[in-house]
Structure 1
Amino acid sequence: MPTVLIIDDNAAVGVALDVLFSLHDIAALHAASPEEGLALLASEQIDLVIQDMNFSADTTSGEEGVALFRQIRARYPDLPVILLTAWTHLDAAVDLVKAGAADYLPKPWNDERLLATVTNLVELGQANRALAQRVGRERRERRELENQYDLRGLVWADPALERVLQLACQVARADVPVLITGPNGTGKERIAEIIQANSQVKDGPFVVLNCGALPSELIEAELFGADAGAYTGASKAREGKFEAADGGTLFLDEIGNLPLAGQMKLLRVLETGRFERLGSNRERQVKVRVVSATNADLAAMIRAGTFREDLLYRLNVIELRLPALAARPGDILPLATSFLAP
């Protein structure tokens, strides 16, 4: 039940407002002087203050009320205050509303208007406090996450991304493949870097291959290497990405673009850790953590026969789904600030 503090030297005003508010499930406390009101504010949980503007006998200047309002405003800047007086000075009312007063009502007051104002202000105050508590909690959780893990300088603020980061950091130390899915531009490679930075192979190499940026006939050579003469232009042997990533992490971006022949060889490496270079019969052994990413619908590709179901099973031991930026509005301002910084 919300609580309203009434600061008025007239006991009848306190009784009348107490009766009015009690009929609408609002508790009321009454203070007869500014000092008593400030003491109650310090000791009680107050949602709104209704204060008189004059407390001394034969005083109509409103100076006492202005002084009290400024003290309340200084100590409790978010607490709504309604000013109530029989001596209405328009200039004073305008000045105090500009200074933050919620409303300025004359005596005798209109019950319906006063009640509507109090109800709206109390609901708004409760909503603002709930929001402030949520924002504070999210900030604490964000600080804890940033202190506990290496997030590679990621710029973020939205809780939707925090959930992905929590999971990414938790699974980083597990030696299992991870599939990162989400639209283009959501930061899939950065999440892969975070997984590497918090894994047991964080000191090993982090090798990236964009499967969508290479001709299909060259992807196998890029992945597994090639011996001299394996294809036109291969004048000398070269190691592939798996050899380069030995003891570390291999990030396969746009995994949905990998041709079926390459998918079969990749499946074998995931199962055994062994592979042959293109044009070679010698088997090689590596220890590589594979993190892959795609914006494609791999399930639809499986139905179309363009992606192996058994490979998806191997890659998708843990899936991290990155939400689009439109679903992370809290990240927009921090990202814009970061991009526009000199």
Structure 2
Amino acid sequence: MSTVLIIDDNAAVAIALEVLLSLHDIGAIKAASPEQGLALLASQPVDLVIQDMNFSLETTSGEEGIALFRQIRARHPDLPVMLLTAWTQLDAAVDLIKAGAADYLAKPWNDARLIASVTNLIELGQANRALHERLQRERRHKRELENSFDLRGMVWQDAAMETVLRLACQVARADVPVLISGANGTGKERIAAIIQANSHVAQGPFVILNCGALPAELIEAELFGADAGAYTGAGKAREGKFEAADGGTLFLDEIGNLPLAGQMKLLRVLETGRFERLGSNRERQVKVRVISATNADLPAMIRAGTFREDLFYRLNLIELRLPPLSARPDDIVPLARSFLAPGKTLSAAAEAALLSHGWPGNVRELKNVLLRACLLAANSAIGAADLGLPAARLAVTPALAVDLEPDRALLQAALARANGIVAQAAAELGLSRQALYRRMERLGIDRPA
């Protein structure tokens, strides 16, 4: 059962509130003074505070209530506080709302409205506490991961990416091949570098070969090297990537582009550590950790006969699936900020536009968008228009729509549906109460009676 703390020196008011709350299965505890209320808050958990604004006889200034609210806010910053006032002038109460109070009601109150507001605030408070606990837990896990492993400056915030990073660090010290799958631009090379940095061969070379960037006839020479005269243009012997990576890690990007002949030779190297240069009969021995990556559907390629099934299972002992950026929404803004040029910032509208975009090009597209915006933006704060994203406003949520384009009718409609309960209207719009009050004040919207 939820618990509300009622702080009011008028016993009749406190009892009336207690009875009303009990009819809706909400528990209540009472305090007749600010001191007693603060003591109760320190001794037991409470979901909501309903506090009066005056506690001394013949006092109507509200200064005691203001002082009490500030003490509660200082000691319990996330606890919702509802103000109960008999004032005819409510300017000070509105100021407290802007300072973080959850809501205010005038005496005598409307029972239905009070219960609706209390219920909403309790639910919001519980949801906020759960969110706060989850964020605290995620931040703690993030610090532990950063302190335990070399993450090569990786920027991330989303739980989906943390899962991938934890698995990458877990398998890094195992001397087994790893296959990293995911769409282009998701950061596969960065994950491979993290595996290398936390492996037993971290001090060895980290050699990269993009199998999709070379003609098929040159890939084998790049991988295994070639003696002079092995092919047209080979005027002298050259070392291949396997030799260069001896004692370290070889990262083979776009492994699906490797031709079948090269796949057969790669399988042999993975199994024995031995190979010959093109045009040579001398067998060479290396010890190399192989990490491969692909954006292709390798099982489909196996069915089509363009990728060897035995090589797939040899490479796929451990598979890391990198989610697209659209599936990691919590990473979008931190990554965008990391790509900003010195002196540049993102406006709230720009962040909203970034979050509304689908990012088919993933992190690579995000980086290019920010680099272009930094070059073209006239001001230090980058706006939504500076990003050059198509139809940036079409997919935004109601909260983001309010941020981008305040709409008087939208706010008034939400307030009407909430029967004038600002906290409820704010929740519907996805705004904080303070943000909604600021918009109401800016648009000249009076709170409904």
Asked if Structure 1 and Structure 2 have the same fold, meaning a TM-score greater than 0.5 normalized by the shorter chain, the answer is: yes
1:185-204 alignment, distance < 5 Å: 185-204=185-204
Secondary structure at 1:129's aligned position in 2? helix
Letter in 1 for 2:122: V
1:183-222 matched pairs, under 5 angstroms: 183-222=183-222
Hey, what does 2:162 align to over in structure 1?
A: 162
Corresponding residue number in structure 1 for 2:338: 338
Q: CA deviation at 1:262?
A: 0.5
Which string of whole-angstrom CA distances, capped at 9 and with x for unpartnered residues, describes residues 255-287 of structure 1?
A: 000001101111111111111110111111111
Mark the runs of 5 or more structure 1 residues left unpaired by the alignment.
none
Aligned to 2:140: 140
Name the SS for the 1:334 alignment partner: helix
Provide the rounded CA distance (Å) in 1 between the counterparts of 2:335 and 2:126. 30
Where in structure 2 are the equivalents of 1:168-179 lying within 5 Å? Answer: 168-179=168-179
Match of 2:276 in 1: 276
Amino acid at match of 2:169: C
Residue of structure 2 in register with 1:52 after alignment: 52
Instruction: State, as a whole percentage, how many aligned pairs show the same letter.
Output: 84
What's the CA shift for 1:101? 2.1
How high is the TM-score relative to the length of structure 2? Answer: 0.74
Task: Calculate the TM-score normalised by the size of structure 1.
Answer: 0.97
Aligned-residue offset at 1:85: 2.8
CA distance in 2, matches of 1:153, 1:92: 48
C-alpha separation in 1, matches of 2:70 and 2:295: 57
> Take 1:99 and 1:248, find their aligned partners in 2: how far apart are those partners?
58
In 2, distance between residues paired with 1:208 and 1:321? 19
CA RMSD of aligned residues (A): 1.2
Q: Distance in 2 between matches of 1:8 and 1:196?
A: 64
Q: What are the residue-to-residue correspondences of 1:298-309 with 2, within 5 Å? A: 298-309=298-309
Which of 204-213 and 22-31 deviates more?
22-31
- Aligned ranges for residues 4-19 of structure 1 at < 5 Å? 4-19=4-19
Structure 1 residue 156 displacement after superposition? 1.2
Partner of 1:311: 311
**How big is the shift at 1:249?**
0.5
By how many angstroms is 1:96 displaced?
2.4
Moved more, 277-286 or 63-72: 63-72
Question: How many angstroms does 1:70 deviate by?
Answer: 2.4
> Per-residue displacement from partner, 1:33-90 (whole Å, max 9, x unpaired)?
1111111111121111111122122333323222222222232222211111334322
Establish whether residue 297 from structure 1 lines up as the match of residue 297 from structure 2.
yes
CA shift for structure 1 position 121: 0.5
Deviation, 1:182, is 0.3
- Correspondences of 1:83-98 after superposition (within 5 Å): 83-98=83-98
Q: For 1:338 and 1:11, how far apart are their aligned partners in 2?
A: 57
CA offsets per residue over residues 139-176 of structure 1, 9 Å max, x none? 11011011111111111111111111111111111111
CA distance in 2, matches of 1:241, 1:86: 81
Q: How far apart, in 2, do the equivalents of 1:300 and 1:109 lie?
A: 68
